[in-house]
Chain A
Amino acid sequence: MTVVTATSLDEALDALAGDPSAQLLAGGTDFMVEVSFAHRRPASIVTLRRVDELKGWWRDGDTLVLGAGMTYTELQAEPFLDVVPGLAQAARTVGSPQIRNAGTIGGNIATGSPAGDTLPVLVALDAVIVLQSAADGERRVPWNEFFLGPKRTARRGDELVTAVRVPVVHGRQEYLKVGTRNAMVISVAGVALVMDDDAHTVRVGLGSVGPVPLRAPAAEAFADSTIDWATMTIPDGGAAQFGALVSAAASPIDDQRSTAAYRRHAVGVCARRALQRCLS
C-alpha cells in the first residue's frame, strides 16, 4: 500500500493523475469505517489533511466558498451560524465531538450518502460543487448533476472536490434531523429549510428519503405563494399543508434503520415545524 501525504493541491492532483485508482483520505470518518468492515481495501492513498488550499473559506461576491477540508467543528461556529445557519445547525448534528473535529464537508459531499447531514442544506441552497483535476482544471457542477445515486456522484477518479459554493441568502434557515438516538446517530430523515426574504422563496432539502438528497418543488411553490411575506405569516393550516406536500415529495425505503412510512411522515412533520420556526 502506498500513501502520498500531499501538502499542496497540485501535489494531490498530480498524485491522483498518476494513479487514478488512488483513494482520497480526508478526516477518515467514512473511509476508515469502510476499511474496518473490509468494504474498502485501498492499494494507494492520497491524504488531504495537510493540503492548505482545501482549508478555510472566503466570499466571492454573494457566494460563500467553503473549502472541502473544512471540519464540522469549524462549520458549527461563527461566522457560519450567522451566514449559513442551516449548515451550521446541520454540522452540529453530526456524530460526536471527535467526529466533528475530524470529519469534513468535502468528505460528506464526496461520499454522497443520502443520509449525509450537510447535503439537504446544500441542496436547499442550490449549492455548486467545485471539482478539480490535473488534466482539466476546475469544473463546477450544480448539486442536482452531482448526486447521482446512493453513494454515487459525478466526481471522476482523477478529480478532487476542492470546495462547495453556496449563496449567502438573507432569511432564516433550519435543519431538523430525526434519529432514534439523541446524538451520534445516522439520519433517519432530515429536512433543511431556507427562507429567502428578498426573493420571497422557500427552499426545502430532504435527506434519507430517497437515493439522493431531494428537493420538494410543489411544497416550495405552495409556500412561496401562500406565505404573507409582509407579515411573515402563513394562513391557518398552511404549514400543515406544506408538511403534507413535503411528505409527498419523499420517496423513502424500508431498511434496518426505519420504515418508509415513518420517514415519509417524519419529513412532513419536520418540514412543518421548520416553517413554523422560520415564521415565528
Chain B
Amino acid sequence: MSTTETIATGTDTTTGTETTTGTETTTGTETTTGTETTPADSSERTRGPRIGENAPRPDGVPKVNGEFAFGNDMWIEGMLFGRTLRSPHPYARIISIDISKALAMHGVHAVITADDVPGQKLYGLEHKDQPVFASEVVRFHGEPIAAVAADHPETARRACRAIEVEYDVHAPIVDAELSITAPPIHPDGNIFRHMFIRHGHPDSPESEGVVAVEGDYEIGMQDQAFLGPECALGIPLEDGGIELYVSTQWIHADREQTAACLGLDPEQVRMTMAGVGGAFGGREDISLQIHTALLTLHTGRPVKLQYSREESFFGHVHRHPAKMWYRHSARADGTLAKIEARLVFDGGAYASTSSAVLSNASCFAHGPYNVEHALIEGYSVRTNNPSCGAMRGFGAVQTCFAHEAQMDKLAAALGIDSIDLRLKNALKTGDRNITGQLLSGVVPVAELIERCVAHPLPAMGEVGEMMGRPGGAGRTADAHHIKRGFGFAIGWKNLMFSEGFDDYSTARVRIDEGQNGPVVTVHCACAEVGQGFVTLAQQIARTVLGLDEILLHPADTQVGSAGSTSASRQTWMSGGAVQQACEAVRTQIFASLAATHGVDPETLAIQDDHIVSVDGTFSIPVEDAVANKTFEATEVNRHVQTVRLDADGQGDAHVSFAFAAHRAVVDVDEELGLVRVIDITTTQDVGKLLNPRQALGQIEGGIAQGVGLAVMEEIIVTNGKVRNASFTDYLIPTTLDMPTVTIAALIEEPEPGAPFGAKGIGEPPTIASTAAVAAAIRNAIGRDITRVPVRPQDICL
C-alpha cells in the first residue's frame, strides 16, 4: 500500500525552497512542515537558544511575509472540494432532505447526509450528543445537514444550494434560565451540568458578615476569532483507512472521534497537523474532520474542506455567555465572610466542554481570596444558541469579571481601599480554596497585587492627538470630552486538565548521525497553535542534551497523544514529556560512555555541551560522545491524579494554579460612550521564564483578547440567529485599540512538580484584563457597568 502523492504546503522557512509534508507514507521519510531550524551548512552552525533565552519563532517571519503554509494552502493533485450545507434555522424538525438534484449535477462526486455515517452518529469531547449531520432535528443556526464533494468549490457551493430540505420550524429556546425548566430540546435533556460548591457553613447565621453587596453580571458571547479558518485534507488509503491533514488543537482526540464515526479502528485514521492560524480553544472540538473523512472515503479521492470566514463562525464553539448573580458579605475589618453566587452558563445546542467550563467557573468563582463560607451554584444549560466550549480562560474569565466587580463594590460599601481589601483576603501558599484543596504550590497573590499597583501610572500628559483618543480615527472627541479612569483586577485558574481526567503527553526523542553531526529529532503530537512549543521543544532538548541541531518532527498520530493545546498545559505536559525523553536518552548516552570509556554513569552530567564527571576527571563534547550512534526514547508525562468534585463541590480537582493581575487605564468619551484603553500594567506568576520573547507575545495577545471582550467582541445572536458572522461586524482590536502593555513584574518562583518550575502562561493574561478594563470604565464615569462587552449605549444612554 502506498500513496505516492506529495502535498505542496509552501516553502521551507529556513531555506526558502519548496518542501512537502507527508511524502511517501510507506517509507516514513522524515518530512517537514516548515518548523525546522536546521541550518543548511554546519560550518555556520550556531549555538541555539537554551531554556531561559529568547528563542525566535521559526514561523514568525514567514507568517509576516505570507509564506507560512496554513491549512488552507494544502493542495494535492486530483483533490475534490468539500462543502457543508447548514441549517438556516436555530430549531426545526427536518421533514425531508432531497439530495437528488445536487447529486445529478455535473462535477458533483458525493452528497452525504446522516444516512452515510457508517459508525457512531454522534460525537463530542466530553459527552457524545452532537450528530455528525442533523437528520431529525436541527438545534442551532448553522448546524450541518449534508456535505458535498465536487471538482470545483463553486460546483460544491451550487450543489449545496440544490439540496432541498423541508423544515418544520419551531420557536427556539434561547434563554438559558428558561431552558432549565423548559421541555427538553435534546434526548439528553437541557442541563449539561448542575453543581454546587459548599464551603464552610454558608447556611449558618454566623456566615453572615456586617456588610453585604449584591450584583447581577452578564457576559456576551466571545469568539476565538483565529485568523486561519478551519481546513482539512483527506487522502484515502488502500487499506480502507484515511490520512487526514488538519489544523487542530488535539489530533488524537480528533482521531478517536473521527474513527468512531467512520466505523474504523483509530489506527486506520492517520492524522498530521497542518499549519494552524490560531486556535484559542476553538479547535478543540470537531468541526470539519469527520465530514472531510466521510467525503474522502465516500469518493475514494482526496478531499479538501475549508471554511470561509463566515462558515468558521458557525463551525466552531464559542466562549460561553453567562449570567451571574453574586452576593459578598464581609466582616467589619474586611474579612470575607461569605460569597454566594449563582452562575448560569449558556452552552448552546451541544455539550462540547460545557461541563468542565462550568466546573472551572465555579471553582474560581470566589477569586484568589480566602473566604470563610461560600455557596456557589452553577448551571450549564442547553439552548438553541450556537454551541459554546473552550476558549482561553475557560470559565474563569466569566466569573473573574463578576468577582472583581464585587470586590470593588464591597470595598466601597466597607469604606476600605479596594486594593487593601484584596490584600487582606489574598490567598497564599498553604491556604485552601473553596473546594477544600490545599494550595501547596506557588500562590503569589499579594505580591502580584502589590507590584502591579506600585508600578507608576502612565503620565496623564496631553490627551494626545485625535487618533489617540476614544473614537480614534473617527475624530469624535476633543480633549475636554475625555474622562480618565483606573481599574484593577486579579484572576486565577487551573493549569492542565482537572477533575480526574487522565491527562498526559508523549514524546519521542532520537539522536541520529546527520550530515554534519548529530541531529536530535523530537517527535511529539503537541499542536503548535502559536503558543511556542516549536521553540520550547528545541530549547529543552538543547538544554538537557547539550546538542544544537534539533529537528522537530511534524505533529502526527505516529506517536502517542500529547493531549490538547489548551488549559495552559503544553509547556508542562509536552515540555515535560520532551524533557523526560531527553533525560532517558541522556541516560543511554551515559551508559554507552560507561561501556566505552569505563566511567561511572552515575557520576556524569552534561554541562556546557560537554559530558563531564563530577570529579572533573572526565570530559568529552556531547557531539563526540554520540557520534555515529543512535539513541531513542519515548516517554509519557502524566501529572498528579486529580478527583472529580463531590456533591458539595469538594475535592482536589486541580493540579496547579496560575495568577495574573492587571491594572487598566482608560479614557472614556462619556457622551458618546466610546472607550480608549490606554495602558494595561500587568504582573504574572510564571514560575520560570523559558522563552521571554514568547512570554511577552502570550501576555500581549492575551490582553488583546481580554480588551476585546471588554469593549467590542461579541457574537450577536438574536432569537438563535447569528447576525455578525464576519470580521466586518465581529470586531476585534486593531493596533489602535491595543493599549500599551507594561509588565511590572513576572514572578519567577519555581512551581514544584513543573518542568523547570515553569507555569503555563497562555491563559492568565486573558482572565482579569477584561475585568480591569470594566473597572476602569466604572471609575471614569462613576457608574456601574455590569455587562461586557461594554457597548457605547451602556455608557451614554
Interface residues, chain A, CB within 8 Å of chain B?
33, 36-38, 89, 92-93, 96, 174-188, 255-259, 261-262, 265-266, 269-270, 273, 276-277
Contact between B474 and A179, CB atoms less than 8 A apart: yes
B679 at the interface (CB under 8 A from A): no
Q: Which A residues touch B792, using CB under 8 A?
A: 178, 180, 188, 258, 262, 266
Binds A, one of B115-123, B139-147, B389-397, B725-733: B725-733
B211 at the interface (CB under 8 A from A): no
Contact between A36 and B309, CB atoms less than 8 A apart: yes
Q: Which 5 pairs from chain A and chain B are nearest by CB? A: A182-B472, A177-B474, A182-B736, A256-B723, A262-B793
Contact between A92 and B473, CB atoms less than 8 A apart: yes
Contact between B310 and A37, CB atoms less than 8 A apart: yes
Q: Which A residues touch B471, using CB under 8 A?
A: 178-179, 182
Kindly report which residue of chain B lies nearest to residue A95, judged by CB atoms.
Answer: B473
Contact between B731 and A89, CB atoms less than 8 A apart: no
Contact between A256 and B716, CB atoms less than 8 A apart: yes
Q: Which of B439-485 contact A (CB under 8 A)?
A: 467, 470-476, 478, 481
Q: Which A residues touch B223, using CB under 8 A?
A: none
Binds A, one of B162-170, B427-435, B519-527, B668-676: B668-676
Counting chain A CB atoms within 10 Å of each CB, the highest count among B467, B672, B712, B791 belongs to B672
B734 at the interface (CB under 8 A from A): yes
Counting chain B CB atoms within 10 Å of each CB, the highest count among A38, A175, A180, A184 belongs to A180
Give 29 A-B contacts (CB < 8 Å), ordered by A residue: A37-B310, A37-B726, A92-B473, A93-B473, A96-B734, A176-B475, A178-B476, A180-B674, A180-B731, A181-B731, A181-B737, A182-B472, A182-B474, A182-B676, A182-B736, A183-B472, A183-B473, A183-B735, A183-B737, A184-B736, A186-B728, A255-B723, A257-B729, A259-B793, A265-B793, A265-B796, A269-B671, A270-B476, A276-B478
Partner of B476, one of A33, A176, A259: A176
B1 at the interface (CB under 8 A from A): no
Kindly report which residue of chain B lies nearest to residue A92, judged by CB atoms.
Answer: B473
Contact between A261 and B797, CB atoms less than 8 A apart: yes
Give the complex CA separation of A89 and B475 in angstroms.
8
B724 at the interface (CB under 8 A from A): yes
Known: A33-B728, A185-B731, A257-B729. A273 touches B793 (CB 8 A): no
Contact between A181 and B734, CB atoms less than 8 A apart: yes
Contact between A93 and B474, CB atoms less than 8 A apart: yes
Known: A183-B734, A257-B729, A259-B793. A178 touches B474 (CB 8 A): yes
Partner of B157, one of A33, A38, A177, A276: A38
Contact between A36 and B716, CB atoms less than 8 A apart: no
Q: Which B residues touch A186, using CB under 8 A?
A: 728-729
Contact between B736 and A183, CB atoms less than 8 A apart: yes
Contact with A along B49-68 (1 / 0, CB 8 A): 00000000000000000000
Q: Which A residues touch B558, using CB under 8 A?
A: none
Give the complex CA separation of A92 and B793 in angstroms.
25
Main secondary structure of the interface of B (DSSP, over half): loop
Give the complex CA separation of A38 and B723 in angstroms.
17
Kindly report which residue of chain A lies nearest to residue B731, judged by CB atoms.
Answer: A181
Counting chain A CB atoms within 10 Å of each CB, the highest count among B474, B672, B712, B736 belongs to B474
Contact between A184 and B474, CB atoms less than 8 A apart: no
Q: Which B residues touch A258, using CB under 8 A?
A: 792-793
Q: How many A-B residue pairs lie within 8 Å, measured between CB atoms?
A: 98
Contact between B734 and A182, CB atoms less than 8 A apart: yes
Q: Which B residues touch A179, using CB under 8 A?
A: 471, 474
Q: Which B residues touch A262, using CB under 8 A?
A: 673, 792-793, 796-797
Give the complex CA separation of A182 and B472 in angstroms.
4
Give the complex CA separation of A67 and B724 in angstroms.
34
Give the complex CA separation of A185 and B735 in angstroms.
13
Known: A92-B473, A256-B723, A270-B476. A178 touches B796 (CB 8 A): no
Contact between B474 and A176, CB atoms less than 8 A apart: yes
Q: Which B residues touch A259, using CB under 8 A?
A: 793
Given contacts A38-B157, A180-B712, 10 further A-B contacts (CB under 8 A): A37-B310, A92-B473, A178-B672, A181-B734, A183-B472, A185-B474, A256-B723, A258-B792, A261-B793, A265-B797
Q: Which B residues touch A89, using CB under 8 A?
A: 475
Kindly report which residue of chain A lies nearest to residue B669, judged by CB atoms.
Answer: A269
Interface residues, chain B, CB within 8 Å of chain A?
157, 308-310, 467, 470-476, 478, 481, 671-674, 676, 711-712, 716, 723-724, 726, 728-729, 731, 733-737, 791-793, 796-797
Contact between B476 and A180, CB atoms less than 8 A apart: no
Q: Which A residues touch B716, using CB under 8 A?
A: 256
Contact between A266 and B672, CB atoms less than 8 A apart: yes
CB proximity of A110 to chain B, nearest CB, Å: 19
Give the complex CA separation of A231 and B671 in angstroms.
28
Give the complex CA separation of A35 and B698 in angstroms.
35
Kindly report which residue of chain A lies nearest to residue B737, judged by CB atoms.
Answer: A182
Give the complex CA separation of A232 and B41 in angstroms.
74
CB proximity of A42 to chain B, nearest CB, Å: 12
Q: Which B residues touch A175, using CB under 8 A?
A: 475
Contact between B724 and A256, CB atoms less than 8 A apart: yes
Q: Which A residues touch B674, using CB under 8 A?
A: 178, 180
Kindly report which residue of chain B lies nearest to residue A177, judged by CB atoms.
Answer: B474
Give the complex CA separation of A187 and B728 in angstroms.
11
Give the complex CA separation of A184 and B729 in angstroms.
11
Give the complex CA separation of A81 and B728 in angstroms.
28
Q: Which A residues touch B470, using CB under 8 A?
A: 182
Kindly report which residue of chain A lies nearest to residue B717, judged by CB atoms.
Answer: A256
Partner of A93, one of B310, B475, B796: B475
Give the complex CA separation of A176 and B473 in angstroms.
9
Give the complex CA separation of A76 and B710 in angstroms.
32
Give the complex CA separation of A256 and B728 in angstroms.
11
Q: Which A residues touch B729, using CB under 8 A?
A: 186, 256-257
Q: Which A residues touch B735, using CB under 8 A?
A: 183
Contact between A273 and B478, CB atoms less than 8 A apart: yes
CB proximity of B773 to chain A, nearest CB, Å: 14
Q: Which B residues touch A276, using CB under 8 A?
A: 478
Kindly report which residue of chain B lies nearest to residue A179, judged by CB atoms.
Answer: B474
Give the complex CA separation of A129 and B729 in angstroms.
30
Counting chain B CB atoms within 10 Å of each CB, the highest count among A33, A179, A258 belongs to A179
Give the complex CA separation of A181 and B712 in angstroms.
7
CB proximity of B708 to chain A, nearest CB, Å: 10
Counting chain A CB atoms within 10 Å of each CB, the highest count among B157, B472, B476 belongs to B476
Give the complex CA separation of A185 and B724 in angstroms.
13
CB proximity of A193 to chain B, nearest CB, Å: 12
Q: Which B residues touch A37, using CB under 8 A?
A: 308, 310, 726
Q: Which B residues touch A183, using CB under 8 A?
A: 472-473, 734-737
Give the complex CA separation of A262 and B794 in angstroms.
10
Q: Which A residues touch B673, using CB under 8 A?
A: 262
Contact between A177 and B476, CB atoms less than 8 A apart: yes
Q: Which A residues touch B473, using CB under 8 A?
A: 92-93, 177, 182-184
CB proximity of B739 to chain A, nearest CB, Å: 11
CB proximity of A142 to chain B, nearest CB, Å: 27
Give the complex CA separation of A177 and B470 in angstroms.
12
CB proximity of A1 to chain B, nearest CB, Å: 10
Give the complex CA separation of A258 and B671 in angstroms.
16
Contact between A181 and B733, CB atoms less than 8 A apart: yes
Q: Which B residues touch A180, using CB under 8 A?
A: 674, 711-712, 731, 791-792
Q: Which A residues touch B481, using CB under 8 A?
A: 273
Q: Which A residues touch B476, using CB under 8 A?
A: 176-178, 270, 273
Give the complex CA separation of A188 and B731 in angstroms.
13
Give the complex CA separation of A188 and B474 in angstroms.
11
Q: Which B residues touch A187, using CB under 8 A?
A: 474
Give the complex CA separation of A22 and B716 in angstroms.
36
Known: A175-B475, A256-B729. A184 touches B734 (CB 8 A): yes
Give the complex CA separation of A97 and B716 in angstroms.
28
Kindly report which residue of chain A lies nearest to residue B474, judged by CB atoms.
Answer: A177
Give the complex CA separation of A246 and B736 in angstroms.
29
Q: Which B residues touch A273, using CB under 8 A?
A: 476, 478, 481
Give the complex CA separation of A33 and B737 in angstroms.
24
CB proximity of A44 to chain B, nearest CB, Å: 16
